[in-house]
């Protein structure tokens, strides 16, 4: 029989993403609505190990829904990788009577939660807070929509200056292991080529495409590259210049600008919906699960499945890229 959850902790772990604050707000206010005590754990798992845990009230999350980043902060915690560190974290939770956790983060955060829950029988709920959209079991992750819109806005501006100078621009976007930001922003901005980690890059094909466009006097070209792609923006520029030395080429690395900023309406909505569902799951006894959204409905899978599986880019998307770039 599942133990009744009376006090819950919420933390944000791994890379920050826009909408995390909206999710924290939803967890806190939903918990209070159901007469639970809610605690904010600072700096991810580091706060659990170091006992940096604060009690939260409704006013604790006032005026944060529109803010990027996370009021609970986030960090990597080497101590939590060790049994001793996890034991210390458990001792700190036990002192406060916390018997349920909501973890907002990516697959690395969920791996830590799964190990911790198995060792100490603390029910954990995982919510997908990552701009990369690389977690299986959900159509959306908190922060992806904002990050893509940030990239699109930047790339649109770059196209203006590319057009003014008849240049090739290579824009590197975030996505260490997943190409979703590159794929979506590239399609939305009409990029001629989109390079992602999931698909092997054919340099010869890219050069041939650029040469054909040069013959047609199409001198303005955009290539969007995910940072985790084999070559990256700088190396790609070097290879193109070796083959096409007369082509004026520039590289723009968007970097962490994609992580920040006020979350879009969509990210605020899914974050609020997921946060509320996490609290309901703990109350109803759906423990050690991942909460996502599939086909606009809440979707629950075991936490270990969310850890093991990756979101895969469909062949249909890759076909669309190929057709629209010609």
Q: How far apart are CA 233 and CA 6, in angstroms?
A: 50
**Is residue 139 annotated as part of the catalytic site, yes or no?**
no
From 107, 132, 145, 267, the catalytic residue: 132
Q: How far apart are CA 108 and CA 121, in angstroms?
A: 19
- Tokens (6 digits) for 181: 């930001």
Q: Tally helices (H) and strands (E) across the chain.
A: 11, 11
Angle between helices 107-120 and 83-96 (to 10 degrees): 70
Strands 7-12 and 100-105: parallel
Q: How far apart are CA 189 and CA 124, in angstroms?
A: 39
Q: What share of the chain is helix, strand, coil (3-state, %, to 5)?
A: 45, 20, 35
Q: How far apart are CA 240 and CA 207, in angstroms?
A: 7
Decide if 207 contacts 228 (C-beta within 8 A).
no
Q: How far apart are CA 123 and CA 12, in angstroms?
A: 16
Active site members: 132
């Amino acid at each position: 029989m599942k133990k009744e959850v009376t006090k819950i902790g919420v933390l944000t772990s791994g890379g920050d993403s826009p909408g995390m604050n909206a999710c924290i707000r939803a967890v806190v206010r939903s918990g209070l609505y159901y007469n639970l005590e809610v605690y904010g754990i600072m700096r991810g798992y580091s706060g659990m190990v170091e006992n940096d845990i604060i009690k939260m009230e409704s006013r604790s999350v006032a005026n944060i829904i529109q803010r990027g980043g996370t009021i609970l902060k986030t960090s990597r915690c080497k101590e939590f990788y060790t049994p001793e560190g996890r034991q210390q974290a458990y001792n700190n939770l036990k002192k406060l009577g916390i018997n349920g956790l909501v973890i907002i983060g990516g697959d690395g955060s969920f791996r830590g939660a799964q190990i911790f829950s198995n060792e100490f029988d603390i029910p954990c709920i995982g919510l997908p807070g990552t701009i990369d959209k690389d977690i299986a079991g959900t159509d959306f992750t908190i922060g992806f929509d904002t990050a893509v819109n940030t990239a699109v806005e930047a790339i649109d501006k770059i196209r203006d200056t590319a057009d003014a100078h008849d240049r090739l621009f290579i824009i590197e976007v975030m996505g260490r292991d997943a190409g979703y930001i590159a794929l979506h922003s590239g399609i939305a901005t009409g990029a001629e080529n989109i390079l992602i980690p999931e698909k092997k890059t054919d340099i010869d094909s890219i050069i041939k495409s650029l040469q054909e466009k040069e013959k047609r006097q199409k001198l303005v070209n955009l290539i969007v590259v995910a940072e985790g792609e084999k070559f990256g923006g700088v190396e790609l520029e070097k290879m193109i210049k070796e083959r096409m030395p007369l082509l004026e080429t520039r590289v723009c690395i968007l970097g962490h600008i994609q992580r920040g900023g006020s979350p879009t309406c969509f990210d605020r909505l899914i974050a609020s919906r997921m946060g509320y569902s996490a609290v309901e799951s703990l109350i109803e006894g759906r423990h050690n699960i991942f909460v996502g959204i599939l086909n606009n409905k809440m979707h629950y899978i075991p936490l270990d499945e969310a850890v093991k599986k990756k979101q895969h880019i469909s062949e249909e998307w890759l076909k669309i890229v190929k057709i629209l770039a010609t």
